[in-house]
Amino acid sequence: MKTVKASMLLLHFVGAFVDVYLSFIATPVLTLPVCSGYPLGISLILGIPTDLQVYLGISFVGVIAVTILFFFEDRHHRLVHGHGSNGKRSWKRMIYLVFHYIVSVTFIAPGYMNIPDQTIGREITKKTIPCIPNEVLNRPGYFVLSVVNTIPCLCLAFMFSLVMPQAIYFIGSIFYYLFHTVSKSQTTTRLQRQFFFALCIQIFVPLIVLTFPVLYIVLAIWFNYYNQGATNIALAAIAFHGILSTITMLIVHTPYRNATVSIFRINSKTTGNNSQHIWKTVVGTQAQHSVW
């Protein structure tokens, strides 16, 4: 249980950090189908280069995918193999974990091997999107990653093909174990199934919200489709991932929901008691003055 909590904490931490990065630090505006855009966040004040911001933003999406993968991998290992491991990872699993995280932060690197001259890149962007205003192309920090969409799309497709089959395998193995393994305690089996269903709902609801905008971005680049409004909505949906994950967790997990409700009840009671105390003090003071 402690391991599951640790993996859940890591997943929420990564999701929250990516949300802060996308909605506050970078706040990117993409001008698809050309792989280009500009930031609107605090990074402009901090002077962070836009090419670095783009690299980090794409890598963080890969980190989220790998973190979700290892959430299910850890759960699978604890159920099927890990009863005698005492929560410790073997060196093979550590290599497996480190390899995937290295891939998650480097899979987009091939897209940076042929960055065009930015002046030429703006000209090609204008030819590709004739209706784009010149003031957008001249925005501070405007950056053109690539004018040939093949390499960025292949990088994203590679990351997707690496993570998705493994996640499907671990989820399928967990389902098979829970429904085909005879346990000494039926209550334990029932609780394990309920807990796993809750975990699946907690992860897949935000993941679906994350998958559609990412898929739209890839398809818009691949099919040379321009719709600035839809692109902005897709980026906003990606930044909404962490909030939706937290809300889903509070809905599906009763202990977390009860703990959160109790915190608000304690705060409301404390505020009410303080208000009553202040009101009684004021009324008592006024009564004393009226007596004197």
| φ, ψ (nearest 5 deg) of residue 227 | -155, 95
Q: Which amino acid is at 247?
A: I
Angle at 114 between CA 110 and CA 115, to 5 degrees: 110
Identify the residue whose tokens are 């993996």.
Answer: 7
Q: Are 47 and 8 in contact (CB under 8 A)?
A: no
Identify which of 132-141, 189-198, 245-254 has the greatest average pLDDT: 132-141
- The answer, yes or no, to whether residue 163 has pLDDT greater than 80, is yes
Residue closest to 135 by CA, chosen among 57, 25, 31: 31
Q: Determine how many CB atoms are found less than 10 A away from the CB of residue 74.
A: 22
Q: At what angle do helices 186-222 and 228-239 cross, to 10 degrees?
A: 150
pLDDT in tens, 8-62: 778 878 888 888 898 899 999 999 999 999 999 999 889 999 999 999 999 998 9
Q: Please give the span between the terminal C-alpha atoms of the chain, in angstroms, as a whole number.
A: 66
Q: Are 220 and 33 in contact (CB under 8 A)?
A: yes
Q: At what angle do helices 241-252 and 2-20 cross, to 10 degrees?
A: 150
Q: Which whole-number Å values give the CA distances from 250 to 18, 43, 234, 255, 268, in the listed order?
A: 20, 32, 25, 8, 19
Residue closest to 67 by CA, chosen among 134, 2, 140, 15: 15
pTM metric for this prediction: 0.79
Q: Which residue blocks in the chain are alpha helix, DSSP H?
A: 2-20, 43-46, 50-80, 91-106, 118-128, 134-137, 150-180, 186-222, 228-239, 241-252, 254-291
Distance CA 64, CA 104 (A): 9
Identify which of 31-35, 174-178, 181-185 has the greatest average pLDDT: 31-35
Average pLDDT, the chain: 81
Question: Which of 5-9, 61-65, 104-108 is predicted with the least confidence, judged by mean pLDDT?
Answer: 5-9
Q: Where are the domains of the chain?
A: 3-185
